[in-house]
Amino acid sequence: MPSLPQDGVIQGSSPLDLNMELPYQSTVKRKVRKKKKKGIITANVAGTKFEIVRLVIDEMGFMKTPDEDETSNLIWCDSAVQQEKIVELQNYQRINHFPGMGEICRKDFLARNMTKMIKSRPLDYTFVPRTWIFPAEYTQFQNYVKELKKKRKQKTFIVKPANGAMGHGISLIRNGDKLPSQDHLIVQEYIEKPFLMEGYKFDLRIYILVTSCDPLKIFLYHDGLVRMGTEKYIPPNESNLTQLYMHLTNYSVNKHNERFERDETENRGSKRSIKWFTEFLQANQHDVAKFWSDISELVVKTLIVAEPHVLHAYRMCRPGQPPGSESVCFEVLGFDILLDRKLKPWLLEINRAPSFGTDQKIDYDVKRGVLLNALKLLNIRTSDKRRNLAKQKAEAQKRLYGQNSIKRLLPGSSDWEQQRHQLERRKEELKERLAQVRKQISREEHENRHMGNYRRIYPPEDKTLLEKYENLLAVAFQTFLSGRAASFQRELNNPLKRMKEEDILDLLEQCEIDDEKLMGKATRPRGPKPLCSMPESSEIMKKQKYCSSDSSYDSSGSSSESDENEEYQNKKGEEQVPYDLKHSNHCKLIQQSNSMRRSVSCPRSISTHSPSMGDTRPISAQQVISVSRPTSASRSHSLNRTSSYLKPLPPSNEANSDNSQVKYLSDYTGTMK
């Protein structure tokens, strides 16, 4: 008799063990990706060995990501990064190095570039000791030594490796004949009369933050480190040339001396703060303001030498990125500066990867402030990534559907089509510049609120000093990028670059007037701005302010708020309707004339003088009384040159008006060229 199947066992198959591994099941454990919290700024700090960087990241509220995560908002590396990595970054990301900055951070490159600028502007670059690069300039150095011997003079020279760091390989010599001719070395004149403090030689570590190279923006941290030698200073002679603890101020050298003092108080020890040093200068009747001014000028002039190299390399890494857009790079630099007995600063070297080690409390206090204030100035926001993705999507749709793109001018086009094309190009250029100006205003307002212990040293507020720096910048482009200097010079001299928001809006409005004339539309009446002191004008201004308030948005607020609310405010301005029916016609006229919305930071409405009831002449034939506005002193010469565009055209017939349009557009073309 056949046996019945047992309970729980399926006949014709073996029992199935749920824990048994199936033959097709992978034995590799799948890595579960943790979902990032929404609204959190992420930071990748895998490339740094300094704990203070991680502590500041935590203090800022950033979330540290895994080492392999390349999508973080912030990427921090101790060493310089490859240009390929900067190419791959998204617009919302930030990395702490610029491409091309090695042109001033390597000792041999710094000497070579400074020598070129000294030849062009010798009176402006007197803060660099005389330098020779071996082996290329070995013969020039030997000739200089021979000239000294003829004059029965003897100087001391300091010899450094071309790409050395931390004081390795540095020596002092007085006889240049013994130097090897084929080694890669830097030879400098030794500053024999330094400013001494308590009998010791010292140097200053100044921290500089560069947030952008297009345009250039430089901030100086008003604190730093005073690094002292550990043996009393005696001018160099044959007997003490080898006493490096006396002649060198590097911390990495002097910390090995048994006389190195690690004191926690700010006025004692071999390492002190610049804040204490400025108080020391003030107590000894020295000019502290001139001290900081000289330091700032040295830093700016040095970075002007680097700007052509950095800007060219950055644009090669970020092609198609419009000028003035948010920089994906920033850099904290360490300037090593020596003061002579007259308190004149001398540039020793620049570190693009300054040490953020915190061996002492003074290191922690100073370097924490440097990093914390720098990250606050960068204005990294949680919405950056979302806005960047939305912008990429919008640009892709524009390319796909050809929206808002200017059609190419076909060969054999009529004069009318050429005029329209020139006007369209002009309007697009003005709109782009207007957007850049508003973004720049928003950034500057954020920087002014979050500068902390930093001070903006470029661009300076002093217009005379700014003009001096811009002239040096033009010389630097001509010296280092002679083949591309013309294009950069045109960019620097672009009249739109110096215009304010109000000036650009004026030009845009004039473009709209001429476009209406070309299209044969009835010209809407536009008159001069009324004088607010007159009773009639004050009433008009109140009405205009009421009517135009619905279509304006606040660009003077914080950058994060204005970016997130911009779309909402624009929609709000289009949807709201004035409730006062008595003024509806007037409001409608104002809204038509102001097709470009004006921000609150530029609260200027253009009034319209409607013709009187008794005057039935056409608008073009009516006489317009010109009321001149006091122009701002900051308007550039290019605006004065284009001020004729803003004047009303004289009454004329249609034939004359066409001629005037052609003449006006030719003027526009000249300005664009």
Q: How many CB atoms lie within 10 A of CB 579?
A: 7
Q: What are phi and psi of 202, to 5 degrees?
A: -150, 165
Task: Name the strand (E) or helix (H) holding 659.
Answer: helix 654-672
Which residue is associated with the tokens 């600028």?
117
Q: What does the pLDDT look like over 168-206, one tens digit per residue? A: 788 899 888 778 888 889 999 999 999 999 999 999 999
CB neighbour list of residue 414: distance below 8 Å, 6 or more residues apart: none
Q: How far apart are CA 388 and CA 371, in angstroms?
A: 26
Q: What does the pLDDT look like over 35-46, one tens digit per residue? A: 545 578 999 999
- Report which of residues 237 and 407 the model is more confident about: 237
Query: 3-state class of 59 per DSSP?
Result: helix
- Report which of residues 661 and 357 the model is more confident about: 357
The reported pTM is: 0.70
Q: How far apart are CA 608 and CA 602, in angstroms?
A: 18
- Report which of residues 72 and 639 the model is more confident about: 72
Q: How far apart are CA 373 and CA 222, in angstroms?
A: 11
Q: What are phi and psi of 272, to 5 degrees?
A: -135, 175
Stretch 626-654: mean pLDDT, rounded? 40
Residue 365 pLDDT = 93
CB neighbour list of residue 111: distance below 8 Å, 6 or more residues apart: 131, 132, 133, 186
pLDDT-based confidence at 584, cuts 50/70/90?
very low
pLDDT-based confidence at 656, cuts 50/70/90?
very low
Residue 224 has pLDDT above 90, yes or no: yes
Q: What does the pLDDT look like over 74-111, one tens digit per residue? A: 999 999 889 999 999 998 999 999 999 999 999 999 99
- Report which of residues 409 and 141 the model is more confident about: 141
Q: How far apart are CA 557 and CA 153, in angstroms?
A: 63
Type of residue at 641:
R
The number of angstroms, rounded, from the C-alpha of 529 to the middle of its chain's C-alpha atoms is 36
- Range of weakest confidence among 142-156, 243-257, 528-542: 528-542
CB neighbour list of residue 72: distance below 8 Å, 6 or more residues apart: 42, 43, 44, 65, 93
Q: Do 594 and 548 form a contact (C-beta atoms < 8 A)?
A: yes
Count of all residues that appear for the chain in the document: 673
pLDDT-based confidence at 546, cuts 50/70/90?
very low
Q: How far apart are CA 336 and CA 302, in angstroms?
A: 12
**Counting runs of H as helices and runs of E as strands, what totals does the chain give?**
20, 14
Residue 525 pLDDT = 61
Q: What does the pLDDT look like over 469-504, one tens digit per residue? A: 999 998 999 888 876 666 666 676 676 666 777 777
Structure tokens at 472: 């040096």
Stretch 133-157: mean pLDDT, rounded? 90
Share of the chain above pLDDT 70, in %: 67
Task: Name the strand (E) or helix (H) holding 290.
Answer: helix 288-317
Residue 6 has pLDDT above 80, yes or no: no
Residue 178 pLDDT = 79
Residue 617 pLDDT = 38
Query: Cis ω on the peptide bond leading into residue 215 (within 30° of 0)?
Result: yes
Residue 509 has pLDDT above 70, yes or no: yes
Residue 128 has pLDDT above 50, yes or no: yes
Residue 499 pLDDT = 73
Which residue is associated with the tokens 């620097």?
492
CB neighbour list of residue 52: distance below 8 Å, 6 or more residues apart: 356, 358, 364, 367, 368, 371
- Residue 513, classified by CB atoms within 10 Å of its CB into exposed (0-12), middle (13-18) or buried (19+), is middle
